[in-house]
Structure 1
Amino acid sequence: MERIQSAIAKARAAREGQPSPERPRSSAPQKVERKLDAWSDIPMVELKPKHLRAHRIAAFESGAPAAEFDRLRTRVLQRMQTEGWRRVAIVSPGPRNGKSTVAANFALSLAKQSHLSGLLVELDLRRPSLGGLLGLPGGLDVTRVLKGEGAVVDHMVRLRDNLIVAPSSPMGSGTAEFLQDPENVAALNRMIDELTPSITVFDMPPLGVGDDVIGFLANVDCALIVAAAGQTSIAEIDTCEREVAERTSVLGVVLNKCRYESKQGEYGYGYY
């Protein structure tokens, strides 16, 4: 882990001094007033603890695994609040790095902050997995809302009073074009404006599978990169961070699937 951390730090230092891309700022996420009618109409689902634990969704409860994600949440929120950011993309260099697991845990940890509200939007239209990870009902597809083919209340669910999840279904071809279509982006913005969450979390496709991510990053304030220990190479992490940093602000790199000896247990993550 130290070797990876050092390599990331050196690569990041080599890029210091380069100007960050100009992006409009969102207003700060603290105490944003939700539009309660819009939220109350969205059905609440009951989470099944056994299912969540089996899929490494730990942040719905307290304990050592959840504490790791709570620390990540706090660090991310502190930076976002300082910068006035409200939209964060969760990306990864390649598939099976655990980005959707991190996105789900981050959103559930966010919901523990009762003064904030969160919206988790699944935009990995190639291989969506949030529904399976969280044990959600089938048939939910946020892309139908964006295309005007379905209502928000029919394709989103609440996991908490202050957390909405908008899952998607596999689209097949044309995913990058869908995410870059101005009409779809405008519909997404209207949906977010209607719900007015404090923080919107986008679960994005892996960077290396196409141009879905790089075409969409102009619509977010910042990004969190998720890599897998023992699977993602240092070169892949560096390439991903460089590509993302050219388009939005990088909050950090979550090294997922770490195995280390600690008082909290052997399975966890590192954040750099």
Structure 2
Amino acid sequence: MVTKIVPRPSHERGNADHGWLKTFHTFSFAMYSDAQHDQYGCLRVLNEDRVETQTGFGTHAHREFEIFSYIVSGQLEHQDSMGNREILKRGDLQMTSAGTGIRHSEKCYGPQQVHFLQIWGLPSKRGLAPAYYTRHFSDDEKRDKWALIVAPADAPDVSQAREAAGPAPVHAPLSLYATLLSPSKSLPHTFPAASSGPARKAYIHVVQTSGYNPKQASGARVKVSGDDAALELREGDGAYIMNEPGKALLVENVGDSVAEILLFDVE
């Protein structure tokens, strides 16, 4: 099997500007529906949100999802029915395992807009007890290397503590890596063994760090390649990737600015 890379251009994502919220949806979400982009393996939601100060998502319910927020800039206030209240900032990763049901709110805290990615995974098992975790990863931990920030809860050395070093635990076959890749730098990624067949899936997303842009993608430039397949991405762009376990993918910064990149290994 050769590497398969299918583009998901930024401007083709679901997009809405509500004034208080500017949002992009990689997969079907809310009023955006596209049967070709419903989910990818256990990855169900990948929203890139910008929320204006003193506004946000009021208290609402979730169940049977693994929900995590990756903070790019600004501060996000999280409150939930488990008694958690936390102000999240750049580098923070917050995970809520909704399980049998939780209620939470997410609001912009402080004087500036908050920019974050909200990501949902489908759990491998239903009826789990709700749980909450936070992790922090500095820019230095991500600079020109892959930082593993989310990993399956049953993987070795993944802590179940509310706050700890290392990746946040997720009850799904999903691993999430993040990097801040400098110009002219490259990073390989080897596809791990798959438990459900001969192919392994990944999804890559270039964060839209240089500003909200609903038009053709611009900003940082990244080249993704493997075997005979190659694709150039810019901020907001993503790509579906499929390959054999043990095969390598190469991610290169071919532009002149730092690229913030998320890479999902999923089944």
Task: Select the structure that is richer in helix.
Answer: 1
Relative to the length of structure 1, the TM-score reads: 0.32
More relative contact order, 1 or 2 (CA 8 Å, 6+ apart): 1
Task: Select the structure that is richer in strand.
Answer: 2
Relative to the length of structure 2, the TM-score reads: 0.32
